[in-house]
Amino acid sequence: MVPTLFEKAIPLLNKIEQAGYEAYFVGGSVRDYLMGRQINDVDIATSAFPSEVKKIFPHTVDVGIEHGTVLVLENGEEYEITTFRTESEYNDYRRPEAVEFIRSLVEDLKRRDFTMNSIAMDISGEIHDPFNGYEDIQSRVIRSVGSAKERFSEDALRMMRAVRFVSQLGFALEVETSKALAEHHSLLRHIAIERVTQEFEKLLSGQNKQKALELLLSSKLYNHLPGLSSKQDSLIRMTNLPIHSLTSAESWLLLLYLLQEEQPKHFLIKWRLSTKTIKRLCKDLTFLQERLGNDWSNYLVYCAGLPTAHRVENVYSVLEGKKSVEVDYITTIYESLPIKNRSELDLTGNDLLQWTNKKPGRWIKQILDTAEKSVINGEIQNEKNAIRGWLHRCKLI
């Protein structure tokens, strides 16, 4: 039984075929389908050139037309349709400068990175697998298409991809692919950081990240990752912890903690992570450090917020070597909080000004902070008059 995502795309492949061209499902979706894994999107490859694809479908967007990719909008869905191509003129171990559109499926499959990613499936569900990728999937092996040394020299990012697939799929590297990785690791320095980060993110979200991190270490690839070249000890420590079920966000947090950087933000900037992500990670790190010295209090859960508290607790449990993680008690604390944020506090700066006739100043923030903490700790009700009476009794106003 072909999964729904493929079924939904079949009318598109039919249209391309009716126009006289070939069309196949390719790449990760076919690999994942053959492995029984969940599929998130389908990639379509065709012998039709981009201009021909655009004639077949009324609604298209040129998302990467220089690489042969046209985005087709059909039935409220988006599909990437890429023309068969070969890649030539690799400069500086990066992506090719020039691509040539071709009409041969096998030639297109040949330029792909690993045999498991070089399988095509047609609309009848028949598999086209000239490099025996299915056999490698069954043997759980990651093997370069052709000479691994050549393929890694053409595009050094493939080495990072190999390691992230180890993490996601739990496969092992085939001998020649593994040798090529150990030999060519230093070529990774030529690759744009954004591309490396993208693969590293996927590595960190995989179930087998322990194995993948060990491979980064043994192959020496880690030497060419931003800010990690002298951090072998921290990485080894990470591989010795039960990290398999950590999410990518939690893995970043653990790594950041283990690195003990004086300037964690600078380390994250090197990876070109978004400002939002950097902010979140720095916040999480502060609360992880807090958690390492204290249990969760109402106030700590309130200040952290539920998502941070959950991530921190998961990482804390890994650091403490706990087998099962219990984050439910944090949810219970959070749900019992009388207010979830400052705007819910039944006291404003204006109230304080009216009650005191004092001039505005820093004292307002200090009192609001104190009242907020006392409400959260259950010392006073979140009710204006109750708070006012309490402030009087404490001689704060």
Residue ranges binding Mg ion (CB under 5 A): 28
CA within 13 Å, CB half, 160: 27
113 is a contact residue toward ligand ATP (CB under 6 A): yes
Which residues, in sequence order, are CB contacts of 21 under 8 Å at separation 6+? Answer: 46, 47, 48, 52
Structure tokens at 117: 């990613």
Exposure on the CB side of residue 181, measured as CA atoms within 13 A: 27
**Residue 273: how many CB atoms within 10 A of its CB?**
21
Residue count, binding to ligand ATP (CB under 6 A)? 10
- Any contact of residue 22 with ligand ATP (CB under 6 A)? no
* 37 Cβ contact list (under 8 Å, min separation 6): none
Whether residue 189 is annotated as binding a ligand: the answer is no
Q: Which CB atom, from 9 or from 256, has the smaller least distance to ligand ATP? A: 9
Cβ-based nearer residue to Mg ion, 142 or 304: 142
State in Å, rounded, how far the first CA of the chain is from the last one.
72
Applying CB under 6 A, the span of 150-158, 273-281, 296-304, 331-339 interacting with ligand ATP comes to 150-158
Closest approach of Mg ion to the CB of residue 27, in Å = 5
CB of 164 to Mg ion, least distance (A): 12
Q: Is 206 in the site for ligand ATP (CB under 6 A)?
A: no
Binding site annotation covers 291?
Answer: no
The verdict on 27 binding ligand ATP (CB under 6 A) reads yes
Is the alpha carbon torsion for 59, 60, 61, 62 positive or negative?
A: negative
Q: Which of 54, 112, 143, 209 binds ligand ATP (CB under 6 A)?
A: 112
Question: Min. distance of Cβ 114 from Mg ion in angstroms?
Answer: 13
Closest-CA residue to 347 (of 328, 367, 331): 367
State the minimum distance, in angstroms, from the CB of residue 155 to ligand ATP.
Answer: 5
Q: Which among 159, 125, 163 is positioned nearest to 29, based on CA atoms?
A: 125
CA gap 118, 115 in Å, rounded: 5
Q: Which of 157, 204, 288, 304 binds ligand ATP (CB under 6 A)?
A: 157
Of 68 and 264, CB closest to ligand ATP: 68
Q: Tell me which residues in 289-348 interact with ligand ATP (CB under 6 A).
A: none
The verdict on whether residue 43 carries a ligand-binding annotation is: yes
31 annotated to bind ligand: yes
Torsion of CA 76, 43, 252, 313, to 10 degrees: 60
Give the closest residue to 383 by CA, choosing from 370, 371, 365, 395.
371
Give Cα 259 to chain centroid, integer Å: 20
43 binds ligand ATP (CB under 6 A): yes
154 vs 313, beta carbon nearer ligand ATP:
154
* Closest CB to Mg ion among residues 95, 179: 95
The two structure tokens encoding residue 151: 């393929």
Q: Is 161 annotated as a binding residue?
A: yes
Facing residues of 61 across strands? 71
Distances (CA, A) of 305 to 18, 290, 296: 55, 14, 12
Residue numbering of the annotated binding site for ATP: 28, 31, 112, 155, 158, 161, 164
| Site for ligand ATP, rule CB under 6 A | 27-28, 43, 112-113, 117, 155, 157-158, 202
Residue numbers belonging to the annotated binding site for Mg(2+): 41, 43
State the binding site for CTP. 28, 31, 112, 155, 158, 161, 164
- Annotated binding site, which residues? 28, 31, 41, 43, 112, 155, 158, 161, 164
